[in-house]
Structure 1
Amino acid sequence: MATTTKTPTAYEIDAPPVELEFPDNFLLIDLCGEHDRNLADVEQKLGVQVVRRGNQLSIHGEPEAQKEAAEVLNSLYERLEVGRAVEPADIDREVRMGVSEKGTVPAAGDQMDLGVGDRIEIKTRKKMVEPRTDAQKAYVKSLFDNELAFGIGPAGTGKTYLAVAVGVNLFIGGHVDKIILSRPAVEAGEKLGYLPGDMKDKVDPYMQPLYDALNDFLPQKQVEKLIEEKKIEIAPLAFMRGRTLARAFVVLDEAQNATTMQMKMFLTRLGEGSRMVITGDRTQIDLPRGVSSGLRDAERLLAGISKIDFNYFSSKDVVRHPLVAAIIEAYEADDPK
Structure 2
Amino acid sequence: MTQRKSDRKQQRQLENNEFERFDKGHFNFNRFEPLTPRQDSLFKAIKMNPMVVAIGPAGTAKSYTAAAAAISLLNSGQVDGIILTRNPVPTGYTTGLKPGTTEEKMAPWLAPILDNLRQACTSPDGNSGFFTYLLKNKKIEFQELETMKGANFKNKFVILEEGQEASLEQLKNISTRCVDGSWLYIDGDVAQGNSRLKNGQDFATFITSIRSMNKKLDAGTVTMSEEDAEDWGSMRVPVIEFDKNDCVRGGHCRWMLEMFETEGL
**Does residue 1:314 correspond to 2:243, yes or no?**
yes
Shift of 1:300: 1.9
**Does residue 1:143 correspond to 2:143, yes or no?**
no
**Does residue 1:129 correspond to 2:32, yes or no?**
yes
Partner of 1:251: 159
Give the distance between the partners of 1:156 and 1:179, measured in 2 at CA.
23
1:83-122 → structure 2 map (5 Å cutoff): none
* Counterpart selection for 1:179 from 82, 85, 104: 82
Shift of 1:243: 0.9
Quickly say closer, same or farther: Cα 1:247–1:294, change in 2 above 3 A: farther
Higher helix share: 2
Partner of 2:56: 153
Higher relative contact order (CA closer than 8 Å, sequence separation 6+)? 2
Task: Report if the CA contact (8 A) 2:50-2:183 is conserved.
Answer: yes
Segments of 4+ in structure 1 off by > 6 A?
none
Shift of 1:289: 5.2
Give the distance between the partners of 1:289 and 1:211, measured in 2 at CA.
25
Task: Report if the CA contact (8 A) 1:210-1:234 is conserved.
Answer: no
**Cα RMSD, aligned residues only:** 1.9
**Does residue 1:238 correspond to 2:146, yes or no?**
yes
Shift of 1:135: 1.7
**Does residue 1:222 correspond to 2:151, yes or no?**
no
* Counterpart selection for 1:330 from 231, 252, 259: 259
Shift of 1:239: 3.1
Quickly say closer, same or farther: Cα 1:287–1:249, change in 2 above 3 A: farther
Q: Which amino acid aligns with 1:294?
A: D
1:10-29 → structure 2 map (5 Å cutoff): none
1:5-84 → structure 2 map (5 Å cutoff): none
Aligned length: 213
Give the distance between the partners of 1:137 and 1:226, measured in 2 at CA.
25
Shift of 1:257: 0.2
**Does residue 1:202 correspond to 2:105, yes or no?**
yes
Residues 160-189 of structure 1: CA distance to partner in whole angstroms, max 9, x if unpaired? 110010000010011111111211111122
Give the distance between the partners of 2:106 and 2:154, measured in 1 at CA.
24
Task: Report if the CA contact (8 A) 1:149-1:309 is conserved.
Answer: yes
Alignment gaps of 5+ in structure 2: 1-26, 122-126, 215-235
Residues 224-269 of structure 1: CA distance to partner in whole angstroms, max 9, x if unpaired? 4433433221233223222111111111110000000000000000
Higher strand share: 1
Task: Report if the CA contact (8 A) 2:167-2:197 is conserved.
Answer: no
Partner of 1:283: 191
Q: Which amino acid aligns with 1:234?
A: F
Alignment gaps of 5+ in structure 1: 1-123
Say which one has the larger Rg: 1
What's the TM-score, normalizing by structure 1? 0.59
Give the distance between the partners of 2:43 and 2:105, measured in 1 at CA.
32
Quickly say closer, same or farther: Cα 1:191–1:222, change in 2 above 3 A: same
Shift of 1:221: 4.0
Task: Report if the CA contact (8 A) 1:287-1:293 is conserved.
Answer: no
Classify the secondary structure of the residue corresponding to 1:179.
Answer: strand
**Does residue 1:264 correspond to 2:193, yes or no?**
no
Give the distance between the partners of 1:261 and 1:178, measured in 2 at CA.
25
**Does residue 1:193 correspond to 2:193, yes or no?**
no
Task: Report if the CA contact (8 A) 1:153-1:312 is conserved.
Answer: yes
What's the TM-score, normalizing by structure 2? 0.74
Task: Report if the CA contact (8 A) 1:257-1:287 is conserved.
Answer: no
